[in-house]
Amino acid sequence: QVRLVESGGGLVQPGGSPRLSCAASGINFKIHPMYWYRQTPGKEREMVASIESDGATKYVDFVQGRFTISRNNARSTVYLQMNSLKPDDTARYYCHAQRQGVDHWGKGTTVTVSP
């Protein structure tokens, strides 16, 4: 059974730099691309960043240069370092993986950017 557990969210001031973590189990983590998505009320879930098994990364334009995705295969954990946060970054952040064609999601962690 695939399990993804996010952590690291909370209330952050504008300009803050939290790091989100996603601990994975039930998959051969090192071979799977991993993804961070986010969602705000009334909007569709949108991809924020991805990291391939070889470490190659991709980012959506609105986080490029501010967020960094990384992975620790020994710990089966993917991270999202968030810098220079803006109020528009307020969202619930989800970890995603796909195994054998099936999408798996964590329950998410909420980041609220507010003074």
- What per-residue confidence (pLDDT) applies to 4? 98
Query: If pLDDT is split at 50, 70 and 90, which confidence band does 7 have?
Result: very high
Exposure pattern of 34-71 as b/e (b: 16+ CB <10 Å)? bbbbbeeeeeeeeebbbbeeeeeeebeeebeeebbbeb
- What per-residue confidence (pLDDT) applies to 88? 95
> pLDDT digits over 38-90, tens only?
999 999 999 999 999 999 999 999 999 999 999 999 999 999 999 999 999 99
- What per-residue confidence (pLDDT) applies to 111? 98
Mean pLDDT of the chain: 97
- What per-residue confidence (pLDDT) applies to 79? 98
